[in-house]
Amino acid sequence: MRISHPMHRWLAGLLLSAASAVAMAQAARPHVVVLATGGTIAGAGASAANSATYAAAKVPVDKLLAGLPELASVARVSGEQVFQIASESFTNDHLLQLGKRVSALAKQADVDGIVITHGTDTLEETAYFLNLVVRTTKPIVVVGSMRPGTALSADGALNLYDAVGVAASKDAAGKGVLVTMNDEIQSGRDVSKTINIKTEAFKSQWGPLGMVVEGKNYWFRAPVKRHTSASEFNIDEIQALPAVDIVYGYGNMNTTGIEAYGKAGVKALVHAGTGNGSVAAQAVPALQALRAQGVQVVRSARVPDGFVLRNAEQPDDKYDWVVAHDLRPQKARILAMVALTKTNDSKELQRIFWEY
């Protein structure tokens, strides 16, 4: 219909200007891509009272984002369903596929930040892997929840809102891969899941990097270990990850596991020792034999905090073993896999464990 009346033309112009202003405002917001992999944050229980009994990886990313309209005020958000699995089922192939997708997105000029929704069981392993191999300064945030979205006091919505806000923030750039849960911003390198039935499940012995309060970031420290853009590793160059496994130290330990992993062809074995990475006397010869076969031995500790001292408890120089420093066994495995794509020299591996 033709608009001829001056008032009509004025109203039409006003509406057009308003629409243009909204479009410009939306375009000016940072673009954050949410990569969904499943987990509790995409879970559903039979009733609102089910906070610990539920089915993980049920809600697709489009419904996850549609249920949080507040995100529109923070960023332009788009979503991709990469996997739909519980995180205990993550494999090396999943890590590689996810890492390559994150790397590709980070290279796009129209992407300002990336969020990965993830199950909490192996969230720390994925976060550390990405921290090692994705070469970017753009914010990468891994997020999960301890309760499904159907539960009373579900934590996933706020965790995701905070994660998108951090990923959209310029002040999060260059800090490596982050984990944003329970109002805290943690380093993907340092953080571990410490309890399975509370929302404050993820902790670091070195403390969080910062906090998110009502959408605003407050920073208190920065990571000092090498990561992301400063890393010597690059996911674009990694096609496969070598076999690295973990054996657990305990009272009356036998050597069956050590010998079995050796026969299975592992390239490195992480020993999750007691205390300061202690190794039972009866296990030392088996680990020495493994090292003589060319398998790298990484001495870690099963205790939640502290770090393993080289040549304390065991003569690491004499045995040509590597110590994991402050990395828990599951993260020592991640670093060993990545490092072995570059070198099989034990001295170089030890340098890498000190630096990353």
Which bin fits 178, alpha (ψ -120 to 50), beta or left (φ > 0)? beta
In the set 37, 40, 150, 228, the catalytic residue is 40
Q: Which helix (H) or strand (E) holds 32?
A: strand 31-38
343 is in an annotated binding site: no
Which among 116, 121, 48 has a CA at the least distance from the CA of 88? 121
Active-site residue (options: 120, 122, 126, 136): 120
120 labeled part of a ligand binding site: yes
Q: Do 329 and 353 meet the contact criterion of CB atoms below 8 Å apart?
A: no
Residues 6+ apart with CB under 8 A from 198: 146
∠ CA 220-225-228, rounded to 5°: 100
Do 268 and 298 form a contact (C-beta atoms < 8 A)?
Answer: yes
Beta-ladder partners of 268: 244, 296
Phi (first) and psi of residue 344, to 5 degrees: -120, 15
Contact 175, 223 (CB under 8 A): yes
Smallest CA-to-CA distance from 64 within 94, 84, 87 is with: 84
Residue 139 gets which letter from DSSP? Answer: -
In 3D space, the residue among 321, 320, 329 whose CA is nearest the CA of residue 273 turns out to be 329
Q: How far apart are CA 310 and CA 290, in angstroms?
A: 19
CB 167 within 8 A of CB 35: no
Q: Is 94 exposed, middle or buried (0-12, 13-18, 19+ CB in 10 A)?
A: middle
121 annotated as belonging to a binding site for a ligand: yes
Does residue 137 carry a catalytic annotation?
Answer: no
Active site residue 40: yes
Alpha carbons 351 and 272: distance in angstroms, whole number: 20
Annotated binding site: 87, 120-121
Annotated binding site for substrate: 87, 120-121
The catalytic site residues sit at 40, 120
